[in-house]
Amino acid sequence: MVSTGWALPRVVVAAPASGHGKTTVATGLLGALRRRGLTVSPHKVGPDYIDPGYHGLAAGRPGRNLDPWLVGAERVAPLLRHGASVPTPADVAVIEGVMGLHDGAVGRRGYASTAHVATLVDAPVLLVLDTTAQGRSAAALVLGMRAFDERVRVGGVILNRVGSPRHETLLRDALAEVGVPVLGAVSRSVEVAAPSRHLGLVPVAEQAPESLAVVAALADLVAATVDLDAVLDLARSAPPLTVPAWDPVAAVGGQGSTAAVGGPAGVTAVGGPARTGGPTVAVAAGAAFTFSYAETAELLAAAGATVAPFDPLRDPGLPAGTRAVVIGGGFPEAHADALAGNAALRAELAAFDGPVVAECAGLLYLGRSLDGAPMCGRLDLTARMTGRLTLGYREAVAAADSPVTRAGERVRGHEFHRTVTDPGHGDTPAWRFDGAAHGFVDGRVHASYLHVHWAGQPHAARRLVQACR
């Protein structure tokens, strides 16, 4: 594909560490810029599913992830261009970072960090700084952030949790000494916080009215405290994107036409290629299963499937004509009783003889029980909540053939959960990593805790659609 440069204004919202207010600023920026009549494209560094839900609500289009570990560094800029192009070209892209600016995959010297992604997409960085108990030393911290990697351009700072007008003046004067402009200051007394859960924010789909109120409040806050014109000027300093946009049709080696598929949290993802009349792949959605990358549905459609969302909390059966099922992540433990109450759907899934792919929450739902509540019983396992968090990137090898893998294939994925299953893996496991077996391959079922971004493994979508036939 021949690529032409696209002068897409873009900025990366980063911080020295977690907890400084990146999500507050990024979500507020998306909402405030959208109120100005701009088309904004929301993006998130890393594997997280929850922040993109808030981003999507603020922007009015799906939040998308940019994660070199999951998809390969070479796909990050093309995925940015793709996400900013559909359903319509964006006027500006806002990319929220992950953890601290230079924190990435452990032991990989910053690989998959916010700084790494900023260099891959050639975007300036807007640094959010928690100024609690800091004075002039804040300037030294920002100077260190800027100097640590000369490829990363810190173009401005937003001061967060400022204690008083005098405190703000002190900070602004100190940052002027090191030549870093202050583009906004948020008082400690007016900060807005989103509801939290044991793995982060509460997913948007679980509490739409509260989520709408939080997003509106964040937009108000940023509009009142941040110089939006200066942020736009910083975003416009990014050079043209010259890489071609990622193309789901090319990724799966298929052909398709532009169509719309259902996106997360009520946002419609338009632009995913699809063929009419293809096998129906049912994809779990709703409040219990909110974790899904937008590209998953696009790849399935590009491979020839008709993508049909269903809500295990409410729908009494699978969509008509379902030939395969994909059940992603979420918080089923928060909805265990309601899931258990939908006995008709549980029975249908237990008897379904087509291919089934389940990740994390989907694994728990396919088991016999979750915290004592009956689930589908498709897999002979029980699951329960624990106080231990399992979190991190994984390098895995497929342990068996399945509807989406071939034995011996290597993938990169991500785990985060506070549940355990008994047993921890089946007689035929799905993966091997860290010297152990993980997950289950049982007939045409592939289920595990591992989250995989299919943009990095597009053959999974192609194989699943082929398995329907």
Residue-wise pLDDT tens digits, 181-201:
999 999 986 767 665 554 455
The span from the CA of 317 to the CA of 334, in Å, is: 21
331, 289 Cβ separation under 8 angstroms = no
| Angle between helix 22-35 and helix 228-236 axes, rounded to 10 deg | 90
Average pLDDT over the chain reads 91
In percent, the amount of the chain with pLDDT more than 70 equals: 90
Global model pTM greater than 0.85? yes
132 to 10, 94, 157, 160: CA distances (angstroms): 28, 25, 15, 8
The yes-or-no answer on residue 360 being catalytic is yes
pLDDT exceeds 60 at position 323: yes
Which residue in this structure is represented by tokens 């289920």?
447
Amino acid letter, residue 199:
L
Looking at residue 199, its pLDDT comes to 44
Confidence of residue 264 (pLDDT cuts 50, 70, 90): very low
Confidence of residue 469 (pLDDT cuts 50, 70, 90): confident
DSSP category for residue 425: B
Find the catalytic residue in 294, 300, 345, 360. Answer: 360
Residues 6+ apart with CB under 8 A from 136: 170, 174
In a 13 Å sphere around the CA of 188, the CA atoms on its Cβ side amount to: 12
**Cα 37 to the center of its chain, rounded Å:** 25
Given this model, what pLDDT does residue 3 score? 58
Q: What is the pLDDT of residues 51-81, one digit of tens each?
A: 898 899 999 999 999 999 999 999 999 999 9
Burial of 386 (0-12, 13-18, 19+ CB in 10 A): exposed
On the question of a cis peptide bond just before residue 423, with omega within 30 degrees of 0, the verdict is yes
